[in-house]
Structure formats: C-alpha cells, structure tokens
Structure 1
Amino acid sequence: MIVIDIGNTDIVIGIYTKHKLDKTLRFNTKSKNTIRLIKLRFTNRYIHQLKIKHKICILSSVVPEINNKIKSLFKSLKFKVLNITTNNIPFDIQFNYQPKELGSDRIANTLAAIKKYGNNCLIIDFGTATTFDVIKNNKYEGGVIAPGIDISHNALVRHASKLKKISIIRTKSLIGNNTKDSMQSGFYWGYISLINGVIDKIIKQQRFKPTIILTGGLANIFKKEISQKTEYEPNLTLNGLYLIGKIKYA
C-alpha cells in the first residue's frame, strides 16, 4: 500500500509492505518539477520491484491545486485511490469541527493516536503550522492552530532588512550577545513557551490527562524541553493513513 501526505511544504510518500513502513520519499510541494519527479520515480517497473501486494493509495492533502494531479497519476498506474475526509473514514469517531475545514492530515493523526494510545490524546504537529488537536473520550474536541516556526522565521527575515536567516537550535543561554544568538534564543525558547503554555491551558480547560504526542518535522528539536511527558511519533500521519486503508480495504 502507498500512502501520501500532501502538505504545504512537503509531499511525503510512505510505502508499506508486510504491514510495516518500508520506505519514505519526500518531495518539495512548491517545486515546479515535483509531479515530474514523482512520475519518474513511480514507473511500473519500480512499483513491481516494491512488491506491493495491493495497489491501494490513501491520500491526505491540504493543497487542493496539486491534489488532482497526484490522484490522476496513481490512477493511471492502476491504483485504487482514496482521498480521506471525515465522511469516508471507517471509524466511529465524532468530530466537533466544521467537516470541510478539518485537514485530512489531522484526521489521520487522530486515528493513529487513538489506535496506539487510547481515547484521550493531545497531538502537537510541528508543520507549516503548529497544530494542537484534542481528543477526549474518543471524541475530537477541536484544536489550536499557531504559525509554524519556519514561516515565522521567514516572515521576520523578509520584513526586517538587517536580520539574516538562522538555524533553529536549542541555545544554552536565554540572553544572546549578538543578533544571531538572540534570534535563535527567541525562536527556540519563545516556541517552547508557546507550546508549554498552550498544553497547560488545554489540560486545565478540558480537565483531562491526555497522552501528549509530538509529530512533524521540528518535533524532535523541542521534545526535551516540553514540561509534560510526551511520546514522539515522526510517522503519525502516514500510520494513520495506512490504518484507514488497511481497514477500508481489508
């Protein structure tokens, strides 16, 4: 089975064989060459070499303009393609959210989290946006969307002519003695404060003790400074998509 997570920054393709994630491929969503590169990779010969037993493709997309191109490509390769929504998932979960507005990646994350960790979860996804998803008593209660650290970084550099791009790292000192160190401290410790603050408010407001799950590209950088115990699941979205396909087409 092939699962595809089309995000605003990257397209991540997961290839599952024998019920395990065997390989991941990553492409730049905004590149003009992305569709061509995927076509070049996914030839009939390559698919045969992968030894995929069932030609099923489960698709999550938050980028409508590229969605149909990916669907058409895999349909031309004789895959059965399912683009997931809250209406076609094979699970009895109530979503307390506007159905047309809930990203399919967040749906996949929710299902994967419940399957592995139970009915009370708080998922933090460090992607283009930093999202917090609340699952309480097997019900998706809603979430929080904050700007992602990369787009915040890019916006600051674009609008402040003297500031240059930096790498996002944990700084030893909170107080910087030059512009680079000060920016790195501000982004790292500023986001840690945002994350811990939102976690605390969600737990207090919802009055529950969730399993806190971190996923997304930058989760690994921040996980050690989060005040609560957390679980790190870098492939949460892909695993959720696979779970949908496994049950839907079993």
Structure 2
Amino acid sequence: MILAVDIGNTNIVLGVFHNNKLISNFRLATDYLKTTDEYASIIMLLMEKKGIDIDNIRGVIISSVVPSLIYTFSKLCRKYLNSEPMIVGPGIKTGVKIAIENPKEVGADRIVNAAAVISMYGYPAIIVDFGTATTFDVINKNGSYVGGLICPGIKLSIKALHTGTAKLPEVEIEKPERIVGSNTIRSIQSGIYYGYLSMVDGIIERIIDELKCDTKNLSIVTTGGLGSIFVEESKYLQVYEPNLTLEGLRIIYEKNN
C-alpha cells in the first residue's frame, strides 16, 4: 500500500492506495502548531478505524505548500511508518514539462494536478482547483505546463466580506435557487456563487482564445472541495475529480519507482 499526503494551507488530505486503487482517504485541518506525535495519533486512529494496517504501507509520497509541515510529516513517516517519504520537488520525475519563467515558484500541488490530468485525460488541458485559492493551470497542446492564474478562494472571499463590513453575515456556500436574492443571506450566496461561476467561465474562455486550441480536444478538469457545485451550471467545466491530487501523487510515486 502507498500513502499519499497532500498538505494544503487549509486542509491536509491523505489517501491510501492498494494496487493503484484509492481504498481510503482522510481530511484533516492544517495546524501549524501540531507536533509530529499529535498528527501521528490522529492519523493512526483514522487508519485503525478503516481497518488499514500501517505495517502494509510500503511507501509514502508528500506534496506540500506549507514548508514547515514537510519536516513534521517526514519525521512522522520515519518514526511511525518506518519509511523515508518521497517529497514532490526538484529531482522528482513528474512527467510534467514546466515551461514558465521560474519553475521553482509553482506550488507542488499544481504540478501534481497537472501530472494527474496529463496521465488521465491527455492535453491540451485546463485544471480548475477550488481550494484556499481558486487556481487555473494550463497545459498546452505540446504537453507543457505553461502557467495559470491564482484568484482568491471562495471561503476567503466570504470571510473578507464578513470581516470587512459591519452587518453582512458569514454564510454557507451553496447554489441559490434564484439569481436575485430576496434577503441578505440569499443575496450574498447568489453573489458568491454566480460571481465565481461567471469568473470561472470568463477566464476559461480567455484561456481558450489565448491558447488558440480546438475545444474538441481540450480537457477541462475541476477539483477541490467546492468544485462539484459549479460543474452542472458551467459552460466549460466538464468533469469533477475530487481526488485528483491524490491520484497525481500516486502517478508520480510510480514514475519514481
């Protein structure tokens, strides 16, 4: 079995693979102050409840956008799993040709997502990830990662709206039945949902124009916790892959073994 760990700014997602199949996954809140032992106790308990024997884990791969937690989880792997983890970064084969000004600037999670999409859907492709930030990643017709866009995430926008005003509440994120809200909460939900939907479709449209590619051959893949609610209404979002990053980590692990 392989353990894949994706450390994000808001959540840490872990997936256990057996024979290239995801058999279980877990989601933890990212906490910069937790110790190795504290994280280990939570993870071991979750695995035990799912009937996963940690002695059967033969390898670990980690991607992280939080540098301090790479050390924490590397120590956890050595201490509790008797495994030296593979860290996505320089020197790791990903199968992704990076064609931007400074490849070191690209977040590990974005490269992992690109590796997954290239393997699963081919190219050209656009990846939309609804995470702490809403990101767009672009793979051109030659299979090269050529960059993307980074926008404020949905939850960040809601929090900013709440904290930056005197009376507007923090609301749940959901698709409203009507675009015109009949009260304050519905108005905020409509603004957030349809505002982001319009932003996503508008950006994708501009990317397509810039790439000058045939949309018949273009794959547009969505991931991230909130991605699913936009697929059905979007003009361009085609498929939702909730475990895209975990699958990308598995693919990269196999490439390096």
Asked if Structure 1 and Structure 2 have the same fold, meaning a TM-score greater than 0.5 normalized by the shorter chain, the answer is: yes
Alignment of 1:1-250 (within 5 A): 1-30=2-31, 32-33=33-34, 35-43=36-44, 46=48, 49-50=52-53, 53=56, 55-76=58-79, 77-91=81-95, 93-136=97-140, 137-208=142-213, 209=215, 210-228=218-236, 230-249=238-257
User: When the two structures are aligned, how many residues end up with a matched partner?
Assistant: 249
Change over 3 Å in CA distance of 1:202–1:84 after alignment to 2: same
Q: Which whole-Å deviations, capped at 9, do the CAs of 1:1-51 have from their partners, x for residues lacking one?
A: 101000000000111112211111111003744754431145599599436
Identity of aligned residues (%): 37
Cα deviation, residue 195, structure 1: 0.3
How much does 1:171 deviate? 1.3
What secondary structure does 2:178 align onto? coil
> Is the contact between residue 197 and residue 234 of structure 2 (CA under 8 Å) also seen in structure 1?
yes
Q: Distance in 1 between matches of 2:57 and 2:181?
A: 55
CA offsets per residue over residues 61-112 of structure 1, 9 Å max, x none?
A: 0011222111111122311211112541242623325222101000110010
Q: Distance in 1 between matches of 2:234 and 2:103?
A: 31
Query: 1:132-157, CA deviations, whole angstroms, 9 ceiling, x for partnerless residues?
Result: 00001210011000000001101110
The one-letter amino acid of 2:7's match is: I
Any conservation in 1 of the 2:74–2:84 contact (CA below 8 Å)? no
Quickly say closer, same or farther: Cα 1:90–1:164, change in 2 above 3 A: closer
Whether the aligned pair in 2 keeps the contact of 1:126 and 1:219 (CA below 8 Å) is yes
Q: Which runs of 4+ in 1 moved over 3 A?
A: 31-37, 41-49, 51-54
- What code does the residue aligned with 2:105 have? E
Structure 1 counterpart of 2:179, which letter?
Answer: L
Alpha-carbon contact 2:112-2:248 (below 8 Å) kept = yes
The answer for unaligned runs of 5 or more in structure 2 is: none
Q: Structure 1: which 5+ runs fail to align?
A: none
